[in-house]
Homo-oligomer: A and B are copies of this chain.
Amino acid sequence: MNENMIKQLLLAVKTGEMDIEQAVCQFKNLPFEDLGYAKIDHHRQLRKGFPEVIYGEGKTSEHIVNIMKKLKERSCSNVLATRINKEVYEVIKEQLPEAKYYQDARILMIEQGEKKARGCIVILSAGTSDLPVAEEAAITAEAMGNNVVRIYDTGVAGIHRLLAQRERLNQAKVIIVVAGMEGALASVVGGLVDKPIIAVPTSVGYGTSFNGLSALLTMLNSCASGVSVVNIDNGFGAAYSASLINALGEE
């Protein structure tokens, strides 16, 4: 409901095209669709530049299917559902044959609309166990129209593996660093480049990793500047932020 829409409504009232009760109603009826168990936010694409994304965890497969279908109808962009386990996908797949499942990333996607390919987002991961989170970020970023470069298994225990990638790092617009255990990778990368870094702590580790808390604290306390952080295992959120940032460079 932007200023233009307000102006047009007011104009319609002034000209008598619309009576006052109708206008009052219009001010209240914003574009969301109420399924009872969910209110789909069709307005989001206007407001945020990308349609609502379904967070699959804790939703029934029936709900997931219905919401994806509704979003597909009303949106002209890719429709995404994250945190879709293989078991859930097996149940869903016949009802949504047009959707593609990315198993590592646990993402289900219906591709539609024109493809964009904005400048490069580099996704670095520290260890092979961080792969699912890194892939959640990668698939999300691609779905949102970004070129993605994956550089995996480059933890600081063998820092030459990272230093060997400096050139590719310097070509990035934004860098997503995915790391569990002690999460030191974000600081080291932050010391090497002049690009914004989104750090994603993962729950990889044991004992005092406390399911990602250790990596999270490391990243929040990074002695290198230019690092901001998202929730543990939130590959999706990192890609979303990175995509908004990357879009700035394209305007």
Q: Judge whether A160 and B37 touch: CB under 8 Å.
A: no
Per-position binary interface string of chain A over residues 26-37, scored 1 when its CB falls under 8 Å from any chain B CB and 0 otherwise: 011110100011
Report if A38-B206 is in contact (Cβ < 8 Å); known contacts: A157-B224, A218-B218.
no
Contacts of A181 in B (CB 8 A): 221-223
Q: Kindly identify, within residues 226 to 248 of chain A, every residue whose CB is under 8 Å from any CB belonging to chain B.
A: 226-234, 236-238, 240-241, 244-246, 248
Instruction: Choose the segment among A88-96, A105-113, A184-192 that binds chain B (4+ C-beta atoms closer than 8 Å).
Output: A184-192
* Closest Cβ neighbor of A219 among chain B residues: B182
Q: Judge whether A44 and B233 touch: CB under 8 Å.
A: no
Contacts of A156 in B (CB 8 A): 184, 187-188, 191, 223-224
A-side interface size class: 35 or more
Report if A240-B226 is in contact (Cβ < 8 Å); known contacts: A23-B10, A191-B159, A245-B248.
yes
- Residue among A23, A188, A195, A248 with the highest chain B CB neighbour number at 10 A: A248
Contacts of A55 in B (CB 8 A): 127, 129
Quick one: which of B13, B59, B232 contacts A207, CB cutoff 8 A? B232
Q: Is A65 an interface residue (CB 8 A)?
A: no
Q: Kindly identify, within residues 90 to 129 of chain A, every residue whose CB is under 8 Å from any CB belonging to chain B.
A: 126-129
Q: Is A183 an interface residue (CB 8 A)?
A: yes
Bound Cα distance from A160 to B29, whole angstroms: 9
Per-position binary interface string of chain A over residues 164-204, scored 1 when its CB falls under 8 Å from any chain B CB and 0 otherwise: 10010000011000000111100110111111111001011
Quick one: which of B173, B182, B246 contacts A223, CB cutoff 8 A? B182
Bound Cα distance from A251 to B155, whole angstroms: 30
Question: Can you list 26 A-B contacts with CB-CB less than 8 angstroms, sorted by A residue number?
Answer: A1-B160, A7-B24, A13-B14, A30-B160, A32-B158, A32-B164, A39-B152, A39-B153, A39-B154, A41-B157, A47-B158, A48-B191, A57-B129, A155-B223, A157-B187, A158-B191, A182-B223, A201-B207, A205-B221, A210-B217, A220-B229, A220-B232, A221-B231, A228-B229, A248-B248, A249-B251
Per CB-CB distance, the 3 closest pairs between chain A and chain B, nearest first, are: A207-B232, A184-B184, A58-B129
